[in-house]
Structure 1
Amino acid sequence: MTLASYCGFCAVHCPVVATVDGGRVLSVEPDRSHPFGGAICAKGRAAPEFHDHPDRVNVPLRRTRPKTDPDPGWTECSWDEALDLIAQKLLEIRATSGPQAVAFNKGTVGGTGLTDTERWLQRLVNHFGTPNLGGTTHLCQWPRDTGAAQYTFGTPSLAMPDVARSGAIILWGSSPSGNFLSLATDIAAARARGAKLLVVDPRRIGLANKAHVFLQIRPGTDGALALGLIHLLIRDERYDAAFVRQWTNAPWLVRDDTGQLLTVADINGDPSASRRYVAAIHERSGYVHYDAERGAYEGSADAPERSADAPEGSADAPDAGLALFGTYHVRLADGRVAICRPVFDRLAALAAQYEPSVVARITSVPAEKIVAAARLLPAHRPVSHYFHNGLVQHTNATQASRAIEILYALLGDFDAPGGNVPGPAPLVNDVSAKAALSSAIAMLRLGRTERPIGPPATPGTVTAYDLYRAILDGEPYPVRALVSFGANMLMANGDTLRGRAALERLEFFAQVELVHTPTSRFADVLLPAASWMESDALKIGHRYPIETMAHVQYREKLVEPLHRRRSDVDIIFDLATRLGFAAEFWQGDVETAYRHLLEPTGLGLEKLRELPHGMSVPRAALRYRKFAETDPGTGGPKGFATPTKKVELFATRFAEHGLPALPVYVEPALSPVSRPELARDFPLVLTNAKRAQYIHSQHRGLASLRKTSPNPTAELHPETAARFDVEHGEWIVVETPSGRIRAQAHVTDIIMPGVVCCSHGWWEACEELGLPGFDPFSEAGANQNLLVLNDLHDPVSGGTPHRSTLCRVTRAAPAAAPA
């Protein structure tokens, strides 16, 4: 029998056709009849192997031995016994230590099968009352989505590229050929029709081989490159001046003495005017103020004195009259005179420090290629761009991502055909129950004090290392219990050994998992999760293309769950009822909950089941330049969903918290430039990249995938290999100041000289091929997370430097190399 479905291994959710026979899944192929189908990756095709793999967790299990024992002593139990025990422990701890003493955890939405589950897990967390939901957003996408896109453009995540209409496309630190086939396919098609392609990456892989300009960059120096490109756009006047003046906060004056935006309150002493920002008008003495509440400029009779060093051309349109450059002397309410310059002037001065020759020294990208990139983009508008965690796992990740978004803002193509376009959201009910969690409890979230505008604030997630600290040190308060859905925490975060110590110390740990992992070994209760092939699911919106973002689709399970597995959603609803939230979870009836979710669409669950490819239910039609539409409440333009309704080149939330409001570049914490004395002993730069055959730490036990990538590798350029006397294929030791591991040398010119590229997630054996597993806690293993601790991290996002730290390589002793 052949069934239409979609793959649930990751968030891309490629449409598929599955062939099943009884309780077996025989094959999974792309659904070419689906309006948004046509391709799946090797991981999706390998799904039948995963269905009943020997490593799967099949029944509920309870620990009978101490957590320090390498053998948990698992004993089978019933679902009722397991869920009752979990509920009992969580309620006991909440009653005695408060809800914050219980944490939940989840795998990354993008790289696991939890995409369709997360809203229900969030609902459970909020109703339970804990502020602590762990995740890997600080390592996956926070600097891109919240730190850059939301704090610059007001979108909750990076708006997706409208590739089909783009004149030029930027791929920065991402290779969609390995993990986002629909995007990669569309970019290749766009290039074939004449679109230009700019790729920035330390590795020449995938679409980089088709790039018109390829910038091979030293890992962690992306911010300097972005500032260099900003400088060339401004210097050569190739930015979209009309967009910059009208739709960004570029004209607003910034005080030299405080580094803050000048407000009308500064001038007249009226505190109620603190959200009115001041812009100067060139060609005449005067200024206007911008009312952030209304999203509109208003006139003022007061005038700053303008220095003669700020010439500007004349313009007729009101917004075109706003000055972008100049020095202004403004008399304040207390009589003092403040020297002020427009945001754009300050941005230009910051970027001017990054001439092509300077950027070339920092990044190792030739100056002429930097100039070529800066010329390519404005010459082939509209421009779209995409980047992902190649920009995220650095100690300077947030400001680098901000610099990229500011670069993009200067081009003026946001929400334009062919640019990056916020797509229409599906018309469904919000079931996350945000209001159930009080703001006072939310302020107790781990890491909130250290990173007040970071992931603990938005979207509200906790890093693993903050959990470890709470468990081991009781700071800022003890966490006594953890319930995790997927995640494999120890293999997904730095400092695996401290993580192990935390899980050994943890009073109670329940894990829901597909396979036995290094993390699940420490659980008190281990629950068997059904895979996407064994689970009904309701997909609400697709990531890409833009036309699919309001698409909903119901997926019938292909086969009944084997053994005693259950879907994540079923487990959440069963646990919720035991915790006293039966009413909030529709008496445990998942289908009734799905009907509630779909209610605004007018599309019943039964009707959706009759549509194998689903349908779109947008809140509004796909439109462009939505920011220019009239806001019926104010009569002005809708603007952007930022605090000021403008694209914030100067990030007001950053300024409020004492963070640089413009994207300053700081070297990675452990780099040849920032730590030259350390670089004498560790002269190479270590980065990492996911292998196309695997999703994070998953699937290395599947023979069809493992045979194409059998061993953990360390990519080295031939020059680097010769320098350290390393031969292709031999086992080497990769060592940082924090630890060492082993990997097989892959000598290749796709990686730039002086850089070593490993991949994380190696632990699982593949018995079918006779290939070994690797001890994740030993330097004889291949766990890259042993090489990175969590003490150095991005000050805003908390991200750790898995993609830019110092290392060295040596040949491994023959006896120590895996067979």
Structure 2
Amino acid sequence: KSDVWLQIRPGTDCALYMGMINEIIKEDLYDEKFVEKWCFGFEKLKERVKEYPLEKVEKITWIPKEKIKEAVKVYVENKPATIPWGVKNDMQGRNSPNIIQAKAILRSITGNLDIKGGDALWGPSKKVVGIHELELNEEISNEQLRKQLGSDQYRLGMWPGWERVSKAQRKVWKPEKFQYVPRHDCTGVPHPLIWQAILSETPYPIKAIICQAANPIITCANSKRVHRALKNPNLELLVVHDHVKTPTAMLADYALPAADHLERTMDPIHLAVDLAYAAGEPVVVAGKKPVEPKYERKSDFWFWRQLALRFGHEEYWPWENEEELWNYCFDELDFSYEELAEREKNWEEFPVKHEKYRKKDPNTEEQKGFGTPTGKVELYSTILQELGYDPLPHYEEPPESPISSPEKAEEYPYILIAGSRFRYMFHSEYRELESLRKIYPDPEVEINPSTAAEEEIKEGDWVWIETPRGKIKQKAKITEKVHPSMINAQHGWWFPEKDSEEPELFGAFESNINVCTDDEKGRSPEIGSWPLSSLLCKIEPVR
């Protein structure tokens, strides 16, 4: 249980953080020495956050200002402190980048950045070949880069932004054999643009999709449009490589069985990234496959390598199996992948270094600083400015809320929190496992007792959840955890026990909350993300 619980109105996180920053600056609670030496744009930030007094923030967020003050006190008085990434930062549409930037500012001005016990800054390993080196994104020509869907609209999240980020990072993480700053990292395409391109063939047609370990009909917003796109004749080829038959797999031209995690070696670098996020430490792991893949099941490595060989890319895939690849990644270590896999403790942690920005460059004898254009923590982002965006975070009211859409709120009076996770299952995985379904047989929507009484809903009732996009049903779970004006719906539901053929598709549209979500309105102009936690809905019992 938390010491302070801030029950926030969904979609207003940025206003909360800006209010906290304002309070910290106003009360001189920030780390003056760190800000003066290592931060850029403090005075401009100071002026911006004056727009967020706690009285105003209270009205926006529905959090009493005294609670916010209490949270500020707990944070600044308990240094070193961390702010976890969480799961909703990138799910709030136009506010998403502002939330992430405001959180980065909050940890920076309090001196909690890259210190022991604070928020770690970690970069490419000097000893292990990572996933980015293997991607060979530097082989992509500029002509091809310009074709990236959305790169003209969502410039920060696409290659124009990453080119600038990578250039700045290379000043600190100088390219070496095993210290590689990728040309493009974490850049993809907002999936609404993919469905749009399939359906309209603009800005160009998309003819084929390879879908691996994904179930977009369930996990992507606006599920009905995803379904239309994947069935459209404009899409000439859909290949799915997965463990089980999912609703998406049922639409595939080729559904290929994937090797289970017990039928392949443990991936030391993807999993290591997850562990590093969790522990704040660089780490590698290893594990032998207990059994060979049965039947026609094939590993991800086998799938991509065989495809590459057929395209004539042998030079990029010299390893004949996963063990050879992992040993290539471990080449600079004093142990092999197999040796690590044999150990009782099958992971290796490397020393964690803090305050790396203070380290001197041996060539210049100057402190390295941060991987930004100014070499400092950019409270005022010069990259955002160069790309034509607001360099400072700011709050915008969600496009579908009781404040911005009062007429719509009359018909849809509740705020929908979509995409909530729950124990035992992850995204759309594990619905086929009988042991887990015995624990969690049905999808649940959390509703406040007063809301349930108002709508004549009892514990365990099936409830209709409806938005302007669609209507689904989940079982009511009555709880005080949820604000009376909000409902909290689970994410990722489908029913492997139901008919697999169209139109049922394992009940893909029966309890899948993404039938109700929208991927069109309120997208972030910087990265193209869409809101999932601040939509309007109505509820009623299934009669």
Please give the secondary structure, in 2, of the residue aligned with 1:527: strand
Separation of aligned partners in 1, 2:200 and 2:334: 51
Which residue is equivalent to 2:403? 673
Which of 5, 14, 26 is the equivalent residue of 1:223? Answer: 14
In structure 2, list runs of 5 or more residues that go unmatched: 163-185, 499-503
| Contact 2:464–2:472 (8 Å) recurs in 1 | yes
Note closer, same or farther for the CA distance 1:358–1:240 as it changes in structure 2 (3 Å cut): same
Which residue is equivalent to 2:353? 623
Which of 362, 377, 391 is the equivalent residue of 2:89? Answer: 391
- Aligned counterparts, 1:274-353, within 5 A: 344-353=42-51
Which residue is equivalent to 2:141? 438
- Aligned counterparts, 1:509-528, within 5 A: 509-528=238-257
Q: Shift of residue 777 of structure 1?
A: 5.2
Instruction: Between 540-549 and 222-231, report the one with greater CA deviation.
Output: 540-549
- Aligned counterparts, 1:558-597, within 5 A: 558-586=290-318, 588-597=320-329
Which residue is equivalent to 1:647? 377
Q: Shift of residue 463 of structure 1?
A: 2.3
Q: Which amino acid aligns with 2:236?
A: E
Q: Shift of residue 633 of structure 1?
A: 3.2
Separation of aligned partners in 1, 2:140 and 2:265: 29
1:415 and 2:415 correspond: no
| Contact 1:576–1:582 (8 Å) recurs in 2 | yes
Q: Shift of residue 609 of structure 1?
A: 3.9
Note closer, same or farther for the CA distance 1:587–1:664 as it changes in structure 2 (3 Å cut): closer
Q: Shift of residue 425 of structure 1?
A: 4.9
Q: Shift of residue 615 of structure 1?
A: 4.5
Between structures 1 and 2, the one with greater strand share: 1
Which residue is equivalent to 2:226? 499
Q: Which amino acid aligns with 2:23?
A: L
Separation of aligned partners in 2, 1:774 and 1:475: 28
Which of 768, 781, 784 is the equivalent residue of 2:513? Answer: 784
Which residue is equivalent to 1:764? 495
Please give the secondary structure, in 1, of the residue aligned with 2:268: strand
Please give the secondary structure, in 1, of the residue aligned with 2:290: coil
| Contact 2:265–2:322 (8 Å) recurs in 1 | no
Separation of aligned partners in 2, 1:761 and 1:607: 39
- Higher-Rg member (1/2): 1
| Contact 2:268–2:326 (8 Å) recurs in 1 | no
Q: Which amino acid aligns with 2:260?
A: S
Q: Which amino acid aligns with 2:36?
A: R
Which residue is equivalent to 2:60? 362
Q: Shift of residue 782 of structure 1?
A: 0.8
1:743 and 2:469 correspond: no
Which of 406, 409, 425 is the equivalent residue of 2:105? Answer: 406
Deviations 1:69-124 (A, max 9, x none): xxxxxxxxxxxxxxxxxxxxxxxxxxxxxxxxxxxxxxxxxxxxxxxxxxxxxxxx
Please give the secondary structure, in 2, of the residue aligned with 1:586: coil
- Aligned counterparts, 1:167-246, within 5 A: 210-246=1-37
Please give the secondary structure, in 1, of the residue aligned with 2:108: helix
Q: Which amino acid aligns with 1:686?
A: L
| Contact 1:553–1:613 (8 Å) recurs in 2 | no
| Paired positions, count | 502
| Contact 1:494–1:786 (8 Å) recurs in 2 | yes
Instruction: Between 462-471 and 597-606, report the one with greater CA deviation.
Output: 597-606
Separation of aligned partners in 1, 2:265 and 2:275: 22
User: CA-atom RMSD, angstroms?
Assistant: 2.0
Separation of aligned partners in 2, 1:646 and 1:416: 16
| Contact 1:226–1:407 (8 Å) recurs in 2 | yes
Q: Shift of residue 531 of structure 1?
A: 1.2
Note closer, same or farther for the CA distance 1:795–1:548 as it changes in structure 2 (3 Å cut): closer
% identity of equivalent residues: 31
Note closer, same or farther for the CA distance 1:691–1:808 as it changes in structure 2 (3 Å cut): same
Note closer, same or farther for the CA distance 1:790–1:809 as it changes in structure 2 (3 Å cut): same
Which residue is equivalent to 1:713? 444
1:603 and 2:335 correspond: yes
Q: Which amino acid aligns with 2:74?
A: L
TM-score for both structures, normalised by structure 1:
0.59
TM-score for both structures, normalised by structure 2:
0.88
In structure 1, list runs of 5 or more residues that go unmatched: 1-209, 251-343, 768-772, 814-819
Which residue is equivalent to 1:42? none
Q: Which amino acid aligns with 2:206?
A: V
Which residue is equivalent to 1:376? 74
Note closer, same or farther for the CA distance 1:456–1:527 as it changes in structure 2 (3 Å cut): farther
| Contact 1:628–1:638 (8 Å) recurs in 2 | yes
Separation of aligned partners in 2, 1:764 and 1:600: 47
Separation of aligned partners in 1, 2:477 and 2:342: 50
Note closer, same or farther for the CA distance 1:398–1:497 as it changes in structure 2 (3 Å cut): same
Please give the secondary structure, in 2, of the residue aligned with 1:758: strand
